[in-house]
Amino acid sequence: MVKNQIEARGVDDPRVLEAMAAVPRHLFLEAAQAPAAYEDHPLPIGRGQTISQPYIVAFMAQALALSGTEKVLEVGSGCGYMAAVLARLCRRVLGIELEADLVRRAQAALEDAGVANATLRCGDGKLGWRSEAPFDAILLSCAADFIPPDLWEQLAEGGRMVLPLAVHPTHQDLVIVYKTPAGSVTRNLLPVVFVPLR
């Protein structure tokens, strides 16, 4: 998976490649989906949601350019797989997921994978996690029509946010937005397809 789907497409951060190789993706899927865990496509996880394609997980993680010291917020944690990858790249991950049953399953999977520095809770991701702010980086694993103002407020000065933006009803762009003293700086990364932020 790492060599053929991720490294071959240009993801070259050695820490990201190591994290992708180390996290057992099948633990974050139900038993019926486990045989397809390392294939090159997203998979359903219930409640109309998916676990992202391995390449997209790695690409987004690399875009955040984490050094290991950061506190990261993930919105739309789903099955917990992205949180597990991020947990190997930063100091602490906090994840928010709207569906309570997914949170329970994700927490169990994180424990099974030995991840100790990721905490998930059920809630409205658009509102962020104010008591834990500010965050050095924020990642949305769901598509938004615009940057939620509460999330932008909770992003630290000098921080970055990676998210899919639904720029058109039939088109989404993965972007990275930097919070600078002069305002926001946005860079388009690639076209994507994500479930919507609810």
> How many structural domains are present in the chain?
1
Full residue range of the structural domain in which residue 155 is found: 2-192
Tokens 């104010």 belong to 130
On the question of pLDDT at 169 being above 80, the answer is no
Q: Which residues pair with 168 in a beta bridge?
A: 171
**Which residues participate in catalysis according to the annotation?**
52
Instruction: Flag whether 87 is in a domain.
Output: yes
Instruction: Flag whether 187 is in a domain.
Output: yes
On the question of pLDDT at 36 being above 80, the answer is yes
Instruction: Flag whether 56 is in a domain.
Output: yes
Instruction: Flag whether 198 is in a domain.
Output: no
Per-residue pLDDT, 194: 87
Residues of the chain with pLDDT > 90, as a percent, come to 90
Report residue 159's pLDDT band, with 50, 70 and 90 as the boundaries: very high
Report residue 167's pLDDT band, with 50, 70 and 90 as the boundaries: confident
Residues 192, 139: Cα–Cα separation, whole Å: 14
DSSP secondary structure letters along 97-153: ES-HHHHHHHHHHHHHTT--SEEEEES-GGG--GGG--EEEEEESSBBSS--HHHHH
Query: Tens of pLDDT along 95-129?
Result: 999 999 999 999 999 999 999 999 999 999 999 99
Name which of 46-50, 85-89, 160-164, 189-193 the model is least confident about: 46-50
Per-residue pLDDT, 156: 98
In CATH, what number is assigned to the domain containing residue 127? Answer: 3.40.50.150
Residues 157, 95: Cα–Cα separation, whole Å: 20
Distinct helix (H) and strand (E) counts, the chain:
5, 9
CA distances, 27 to each of 87, 131, 148 (Å): 15, 30, 31
Per-residue pLDDT, 46: 86
Report residue 170's pLDDT band, with 50, 70 and 90 as the boundaries: confident
Instruction: Flag whether 197 is in a domain.
Output: no
pTM of the model as a whole: 0.95
Spatial CB neighbours of 178, under 8 Å, sequence gap ≥ 6: 158, 159, 160, 184, 185, 186, 187
Q: Are 121 and 168 in contact (CB under 8 A)?
A: no
Residues 153, 127: Cα–Cα separation, whole Å: 10
Per-residue pLDDT averaged across 5-16, rounded?
97
DSSP state of 91: S
Spatial CB neighbours of 161, under 8 Å, sequence gap ≥ 6: 137, 138, 139, 140, 147, 151, 152, 155, 176, 177, 179
Residues of the chain with pLDDT > 70, as a percent, come to 100
